[in-house]
Amino acid sequence: MKISSSPTDRQAFALADSSRSNPSRTPPSGDDKLREVCEQFEAFFTAQLLKTMRESGEVQGFLKQSSAEAIFGAQRDAEFCRQLASRGALGIAKLLYSELRPRLEAGGDSTEAPAA
């Protein structure tokens, strides 16, 4: 299965990320960075699911969607998915964080799975 992102997806995520940056914030710790990356992954994964669902459905209406509508839709979906991830709606970020945190504490260089 190939996962690709269209230019509108990348534009939507880049625009939302640039508007959220705050240079006056204190630098996040490793634990905070991991949590943030896990949330970003959940948001991106959810956005890919939404994109695939939208592409597989029938197009409603008789007019072709303009590029502006496509960009707006991608931005709307990106923000929606970001909100879902920040609330832990699907639990993917939490699960990923719980799996990766022991590696962060152990030094983070290990490519082997921790012993169970």
SS (H, E, C) 65-79: CCHHHHHHHHHHHHH
The per-residue pLDDT for range 17-72, each reduced to its tens digit, is: 544 555 556 667 888 899 999 999 999 999 999 989 888 877 677 777 788 988 99
Taking the C-alpha atoms of residue 22 and residue 54, their distance in angstroms, rounded to an integer, is 33
Phi (first) and psi of residue 103, to 5 degrees? -70, -35
pLDDT of amino acid 96:
93
pLDDT of amino acid 97:
93
User: Of all residues in the chain, what percent carry a pLDDT higher than 70?
Assistant: 68
Lowest mean pLDDT among 12-16, 22-26, 79-83, 102-106: 12-16
* Annotated domain spans of the chain: 29-56+64-105
